[in-house]
Amino acid sequence: MSDLPRKAVTRTAKLATLPLGFAGRATWGLGKRIGGRSAEIVTRELQQRTADQLFKVLGELKGGAMKFGQALSVFESALPEEIAGPYRAALTKLQEAAPPMPVRTVHAVLAERMGEEWRERFLEFDDKPSAAASIGQVHRAVWHDGREVAVKVQYPGAGEALLSDLAQLGRFARLLGPLIPGMDIKPLITELRDRVAEELDYGLEAEAQRAHAAEFADDPDVVVPEVVYQGEQVIVTEWMEGVPLAEVISDGSAEERDRAGQLLARFLFSGPARTGLLHADPHPGNFRLLPPRDAEEDGPAGEFRLGVLDFGTVDRLPGGLPETIGEALRMSLVGEAEAVYDRLRGEGFVRESVELDPDAVLDYLLPIIEPAAVEEFTFTRGWMRDQAARIADPRSPAYQLGKQLNLPPSYLLIHRVTLSTIGVLCQLNATVRLRDELEDWLPGFAGEPDDGEAMAAGAGPGTGPAPAG
C-alpha cells in the first residue's frame, strides 16, 4: 500500500547497514593513520563518509529514521566547516523532501479517513506532494470554499515504523556520537521515542495549532495557518506561501537573516508565555519568511513576518517557561554564583549526592549564555563549534564539570528546543537582540534584582560581564 518500508525486518536490515558501514570506515581510518595521515584529517574524512551513509539511509526510510535526522540537522553548526558544507546539503534535503507515497496510497487514506466522496470537499487537489516529512506528506489543494489549503496525510504504518527505527537507532547511538561533538545522542533518541504517540495524534496537533493561530491571529510578526479540517490521519490547514527558512540560510540577505533570527527567538520565548505551549520541532523546514501584511513581495526585510508550521510536537507549559530559568540566567549574568548554584540544586540540575564549586559552575555557564549578556549578539557557526568543542574535550574543565550535572526530565524538551533554536540561529548567522526577547517573555529574567545582584551588575542593565574563555 505504501513505499514506506513497513516490515520491521526490512527496516532493520536497512538500518543495520549503518553500524556495519561505521565499522568498515573505522578500519579504513586505521589504515590511513598507519599510512601516515594525521588523526585530525582522518577523523574528518570519517565524519564525512559517515554522514553520507547516515543520511542516505535515513532519507530512504522516512519514519523515525528521518525524524532523527531532522532532529540532528539543527546541530550541524557544531561541525567543522569543511565537513558541514556537504553535510548541510544532505540535511536540508532531509528537511524539505523525501520519496513520496504512491498516489493510490494517498487516495486510499483520504477515502478511508474523509469518506469515499472526499474529492467533493476540494475544488482542486494536487496529487504531487509539495513536501514530505517523517510521518506524512503534504499536498496542495483548494478547499470547497475557495481557500488554498495544505493537506497533510499520514503514512500508513508510520507509528510502527517510528518505534522500530528509533529502537534500532538507540542500539548503536554510541557510534553516532562523533557526528555532533558535545552532544549525547542516546537521550535524544529516547525522547523522540517517548513523543511518538503524541506526534501521530493529529487531534492533538490540530488543538495546538488552533491555540497558536488564535493567539497570533493579529500579530504583526508571526503567522500561524488556521486549521480547516482534522481527521484521524489527515489534517487540512490554510496554505502558507513564503520562502523556506532553509533558503534564507543558504541564499538570504543579511537583513533577511537578522529578521528571521529575531522572530525565531521571539517565537521561541513568546509562544509559551502566550499559549502555554512550546513548539518543539524547530528545524528550518517548519518555518517560512513571509512579506509584510498587505505589502508587495519586495517589502522591506525589516518588516518580514515568520510563518510557523507543524505543531505535532509541543511541550505543555501552562505557566510559560519555568521562572527558575529566567532567575538563574539573570543571576548568572551579574555573577551571583552561590545563588545560581542554589537554584540549580533546588531544580535537580545538581544532584543531592554531588558537591560542585559554585564559581566553577558559573564559569561553565557564562560562555553558553553570552548572547544574553549583550544588547545584540551575532550567532555564528564558529561560536557554536567553540561551545561544542569546549564541552566535548575530555581535557577541558567544562567537560569534567558537565558530566556531573543532571538534566531533570521536565526540562529535557525545553533544553533540546533551546539548543536547536540556537543551532538554527547559527546557521542563519543572524545578529539578534536576544536580551530584548528575554526581558519581554522569559519569566524571572526581568525581575527586580536584589541588593547583591545590583552591586554585582555594576555597569547597569544591558551590559553583561565579559564571557569566560
Q: Is residue 338 part of a domain?
A: yes
Burial of 254-274, coded b for 16+ CB within 10 Å and e otherwise, reads: eebbbbbbbbbbbbbbbbbbb
**Cα 274 from chain centre:** 20
- Rounded to an integer, the average pLDDT of 11-31 is 46
Say if residue 458's pLDDT is above 60. no
281 is catalytic: yes
Whether the pLDDT of residue 384 is over 80: the answer is yes
Tens of pLDDT along 60-104?
A: 555 555 666 666 665 666 666 655 665 566 655 655 545 678 899
**Do 113 and 175 belong to one domain?**
no
pLDDT score of 37 more than 70: no
Residues 110, 187 share a domain: no
* Contact (CB, 8 A) for 141 and 126: yes
- Mean pLDDT (the chain) is 79
Q: What is the extent of the structural domain holding 55?
A: 8-95+164-194
205 and 168 in one domain? no
> Using CA atoms, how far apart are residues 288 and 252, in angstroms rounded to an integer?
12
Q: Say if 398 falls within a structural domain.
A: yes
Q: What is the pLDDT of residue 191?
A: 72
Identify the helix (H) or strand (E) that includes residue 451. Answer: helix 451-457
pLDDT band (50, 70, 90) for residue 396: confident
pLDDT at 444: 95
Are 329 and 396 members of one domain?
A: yes
Alpha carbon distances (Å) from 157 to 2, 196, 467 = 9, 13, 49
Q: What is the pLDDT of residue 210?
A: 98
The confidence band for 394, taking pLDDT boundaries of 50, 70 and 90, is confident
Does the pLDDT value for residue 12 go beyond 70? no
Looking at the predicted structure, is the pLDDT value of residue 311 above 60? yes
Is residue 24, in this structure, part of any structural domain at all? yes
329-366: per-residue pLDDT in tens? Answer: 999 999 999 999 999 999 999 989 999 999 999 999 99
Q: Are residues 78 and 153 in the same domain?
A: no
Give the pLDDT score at 76: 62
The domain tally of the chain equals 3
Residue type, 463: T
Identify whether residues 33 and 137 lie together within a single domain: no
280 within a domain of the structure (yes/no): no
Q: Is the pLDDT of residue 30 over 50?
A: no
Secondary-structure breakdown of the chain: helix, strand, coil percentages, each rounded to the nearest 5: 55, 10, 30
Lowest mean pLDDT among 167-176, 272-281, 299-308, 314-323: 167-176
Summarised one tens digit per residue, pLDDT across range 216-273 is 999 999 999 999 999 989 999 999 999 999 899 999 999 999 999 999 999 999 999 9
Report pLDDT for 303: 85
Residue 297 domain flag: no
Residue 112 and residue 194 in contact, taking contact as beta carbons nearer than 8 Å: no
Q: Is the pLDDT of residue 383 over 60?
A: yes
Buried b (16+ CB within 10 A) or exposed e, 39-63: eeebbebbbbbbbebbbebbbbbbb
Q: Is 403 in the same domain as 446?
A: yes
Q: What are the distances in angstroms from CA 417 to CA 95, 205, 279?
A: 16, 17, 8
Closest CA to 425 of 308, 266, 191: 266
Cα diameter, the chain:
71
CATH number of 147's domain: 3.30.200.20
Instruction: Tell me, yes or no, whether 85 lies in a domain.
Output: yes
Instruction: Using the predicted structure, report yes or no on whether residue 283 has a pLDDT greater than 60.
Output: yes
- pLDDT greater than 50 at residue 34: no
> Is residue 187 domain-resident?
yes
Q: In the predicted model, what is the mean pLDDT of residues 275-280?
A: 96
C-alpha to C-alpha distance for 151 and 138, rounded to whole angstroms: 5
H-type alpha helices, 62-80: 63-73
Out of 165, 219, 258, 281, the active site residue is: 281
153 and 56 belong to one structural domain: no
Q: Looking at the predicted structure, is the pLDDT value of residue 57 above 80?
A: no
Query: Side-chain half-sphere of 235: how many Cα atoms within 13 Å?
Result: 25
Residue 51 has pLDDT above 70, yes or no: no
- 344 with 387, same domain: the answer is yes
**pLDDT at res. 52:** 64
pLDDT digits (tens, 9 = 90+) for 167-178: 777 766 666 655
Average pLDDT over residues 300-318: 87
Q: Which residue has the cell 532493520?
A: 12
Could you tell me whether strands 122-125 and 136-143 are parallel, antiparallel, or unpaired per DSSP bridges? antiparallel
Same domain flag for 84 and 181 = yes
Has residue 5 got a pLDDT over 50? Answer: no
Q: Of 210, 238, 266, which residue sits at a domain end?
A: 238
Is residue 249 one of the residues assigned to a domain? no
- 257-266, 297-306, 418-427: segment of lowest average pLDDT: 297-306
The neighbouring-strand residues paired with 148 are 142
pLDDT in tens, 100-157: 788 999 999 999 999 999 999 999 999 999 987 667 889 999 999 999 999 999 988 7
Same domain, 170 and 41: yes
Q: Same domain, yes or no, for 85 and 110? A: no
Q: Among the listed ranges 74-83, 183-192, 195-204, 427-436, which one has the minimum average pLDDT value?
A: 74-83
